[in-house]
Chains A and B, each alone.
Chain A
Amino acid sequence: METSERDERRTGRPEEIRAVPVRHPWRWVAALIVLLIAASFIRAVVTNTGPNRGFQWVWVGHYLFDHRILHGVLVTLYLTVLAMAIGIVLGIVLAVMRQSPNPIVSGASWLYIWFFRGTPLLVQLLFWYNLASLFPRLDLGIPFGPALIHGNANTIITTFVAALLGLGLNEGAYMAEVVRAGFLSVPEGQTEAAQSLGMSRLQIVRLVVLPQAMRVIIPPTGNETISMLKNTSLVSVIAYTELLYSAQTIYDANYKTIPLLIVASIWYLVMTSVAYVGQYFIERRYGRGFSRAQRATMRERWLTLGRGGEAVP
């Protein structure tokens, strides 16, 4: 009797729970404090105006799309892309060298990383810029043997080459550590399985270890790219015309310092935001085969959209 009664109750839909929610007074207090600080900050920004003082938003608007600024943006972008390309390739090479059984090869990699991480990027840039005073003539050829190509350092090391070398070689040292962390994240069993299939050391790195390491390498590489976008501003000290230097040339002439710094900041923010989006898509690409849950929820979400909240097995 009792069982049938219980069954009956179960067949009907149980009553929805409508409980009185717990109050969270401190949340309101915290929100109020944050809003208050934000409001006073905005007030300071908005009210600080006047001819030739304050933020001068009019001038920000005036210079935001100035052709010299846009040119600077473009230069910053390709400097970032090229320097990161050098950094990534160099980083992979250094990371592979670091794992070499040859102590001279792995030692050289260690020494490189030690040197380039241990000295300020700004100093390195100045060094490259002034390389001509150190080596007036540059030779490319057999070590201790005859030179095959040689030239004047001043004509080879232009500000562009100095900027690219400074940023790229420095980045290589950081990327080497990022790539190495990626390599270490791949279990040893993967290498062993590949070895047992008769793959060579290089094949194992290229086909098995690196693709898996990418998942670990991508997020810090995105981080490095965003750093690089901003670090390109350092090359303004060697008078290379990137975004910050473009802004500086303009405000050196008209003293609209603050508006032009704001213009530059806006463009840096735009570029880093675009980098965020790119990182998201690359991360998704290399996440393949790693997360069953992610795949299922994507499908689930899609199905629940279509069927209106039905449970999916």
Chain B
Amino acid sequence: MSETMIRAEDVHKRFGRLEVLKGIDLEVARGEVMCMLGPSGSGKSTFLRCINHLEKINAGRLYVDGELVGYRESGGKLHELPEREVIRKRAQIGMVFQHFNLFPHMTALENVCLAPIRVAGVPKDQARRRGRELLAQVGLADKLDTYPVALSGGQQQRVAIARALAMAPKLMLFDEPTSALDPELVGEVLDTMRHLAFDGMTMIVVTHEIGFAREVADTVVFMDAGRVVEQGKPAQVLDSPREERTQAFLWKVL
């Protein structure tokens, strides 16, 4: 058990010749909520996807819970982890997507129970019981047998959060969880996330919701063009930013 949940040291990521991350240094402590702000294309989502190895980094070191992501270091050399290991580690990290990505051919409860049953090997009735609890927790106790198509965006996103929580992750990644929602539905999703934060979940949230960041985040990171421009307490970064680039961005979104 490490007190540092995530440590990024000079992380670089290229797509072909386009360098998306140009040296990211970050630390997230256990139980910390970090909000990442920044214009689109600044590399926030890519960084998030590197954390659970949906993308491979090209240079630098990225540690989750004290262990390298995707590699094993021995004798001064990096060895790629076998797929089985990568998958095992991924299962410990929950991820919530901008477009929910619920499985449309399954009901809300089936969505939530799929991974616990198939990946974690939890007995069916136990998984279903836990699934009901989780859906009740996000306020959807009456939507267990509803297919995603019949749910609102906010409801779908809450099912997606419950689905990620069902694997009892030690870390939750949110990739613009409210960007695809109607304004009136944003609140219910943020409420769910707020509860999660208060329960002590370690969270990294890529978002444009400044209000949420100010209220819930322990740290706010502002990224631009593949670099961390500024990071610190929400009050400091949001209310009295030092960098001109941060000021310009906040002036536009507020």
B150 cross-chain contacts in A, Cβ below 8 A: 292, 295
CA of A197 to CA of B160, assembled, Å: 11
Interface positions, chain B 166-219, Cβ under 8 Å from A, are: 167
Could you show 27 A-B contacts with beta carbons less than 8 Å apart? Answer: A187-B101, A189-B101, A192-B54, A193-B95, A195-B87, A196-B54, A196-B93, A196-B94, A196-B164, A197-B115, A197-B119, A197-B163, A197-B167, A198-B87, A198-B90, A198-B115, A198-B119, A199-B87, A200-B84, A201-B83, A212-B105, A288-B105, A289-B105, A289-B147, A290-B149, A292-B149, A292-B150
Assess the A200–B87 pair: CB atoms within 8 A. Answer: yes
Question: Max chain A CB contacts within 10 Å: which of B54, B88, B118?
Answer: B118
Assess the B101–A197 pair: CB atoms within 8 A. Answer: no
Show the binding face of B for A, using Cβ within 8 Å: 52, 54, 83-84, 87-88, 90-95, 97, 99, 101-107, 114-115, 118-120, 147-150, 160, 163-164, 167
Assess the A289–B148 pair: CB atoms within 8 A. Answer: yes
CA of A193 to CA of B167, assembled, Å: 13
Question: Max chain B CB contacts within 10 Å: which of A193, A197, A198, A211?
Answer: A197
B115 cross-chain contacts in A, Cβ below 8 A: 197-199
B114 cross-chain contacts in A, Cβ below 8 A: 197, 207
A52 cross-chain contacts in B, Cβ below 8 A: none
Q: Is A152 an interface residue (CB 8 A)?
A: no
Assess the A196–B119 pair: CB atoms within 8 A. Answer: no
Shortest Cβ gap from B65 to chain A (Å):
15
| Mask of A180-197 contacts with B, CB within 8 angstroms, 1/0 | 000000010110111111
Q: B104 is contacted by which of A194, A198, A212, A295 (Cβ under 8 Å)? A: A212
CA of A22 to CA of B151, assembled, Å: 44
CA of A295 to CA of B149, assembled, Å: 11
Interface positions, chain A 197-217, Cβ under 8 Å from B, are: 197-201, 203, 207-208, 211-212
Q: Is A291 an interface residue (CB 8 A)?
A: yes
CA of A207 to CA of B54, assembled, Å: 19
Assess the A290–B104 pair: CB atoms within 8 A. Answer: yes
CA of A201 to CA of B99, assembled, Å: 22
| Mask of A91-114 contacts with B, CB within 8 angstroms, 1/0 | 000000000000000000000000
Given contact pairs A196-B90, A292-B150, enumerate 19 new A-B contacts (beta carbons under 8 Å): A189-B99, A189-B101, A193-B101, A195-B54, A195-B90, A196-B95, A197-B90, A197-B114, A197-B167, A198-B88, A198-B91, A198-B92, A198-B119, A200-B84, A200-B87, A212-B105, A286-B105, A290-B149, A295-B150
A193 cross-chain contacts in B, Cβ below 8 A: 95, 97, 101-103, 160
Shortest Cβ gap from B202 to chain A (Å):
16
What is the chain B residue whose CB lies nearest that of A199? Answer: B119
Shortest Cβ gap from B72 to chain A (Å):
18
CA of A5 to CA of B171, assembled, Å: 66
Q: How many pairs of A and B residues are in contact by the CB < 8 Å rule? A: 77
Shortest Cβ gap from A185 to chain B (Å):
12
CA of A192 to CA of B149, assembled, Å: 19
CA of A145 to CA of B99, assembled, Å: 54
Shortest Cβ gap from A60 to chain B (Å):
47
Given contacts A192-B97, A289-B106, contact A199 B118 (CB under 8 A): yes
Assess the B149–A291 pair: CB atoms within 8 A. Answer: yes
Assess the B90–A200 pair: CB atoms within 8 A. Answer: no
Interface positions, chain A 206-255, Cβ under 8 Å from B, are: 207-208, 211-212
A289 cross-chain contacts in B, Cβ below 8 A: 104-107, 147-149
Assess the A288–B147 pair: CB atoms within 8 A. Answer: yes
CA of A289 to CA of B54, assembled, Å: 27
CA of A192 to CA of B120, assembled, Å: 18
Given contacts A193-B97, A197-B163, A212-B104, contact A207 B52 (CB under 8 A): no
Assess the A203–B105 pair: CB atoms within 8 A. Answer: no
Assess the B101–A190 pair: CB atoms within 8 A. Answer: yes
Given contacts A192-B54, A290-B149, contact A198 B97 (CB under 8 A): no
Assess the B105–A198 pair: CB atoms within 8 A. Answer: no
Shortest Cβ gap from A208 to chain B (Å):
6
Q: Which 10 pairs from chain A and chain B are nearest by CB? A: A198-B91, A193-B101, A197-B115, A196-B95, A289-B147, A189-B101, A198-B119, A289-B105, A289-B104, A292-B149
What is the chain B residue whose CB lies nearest that of A211? Answer: B105
CA of A286 to CA of B90, assembled, Å: 30
CA of A17 to CA of B114, assembled, Å: 55
Shortest Cβ gap from B120 to chain A (Å):
8
Shortest Cβ gap from A80 to chain B (Å):
28
A199 cross-chain contacts in B, Cβ below 8 A: 87, 115, 118-119
B94 cross-chain contacts in A, Cβ below 8 A: 196
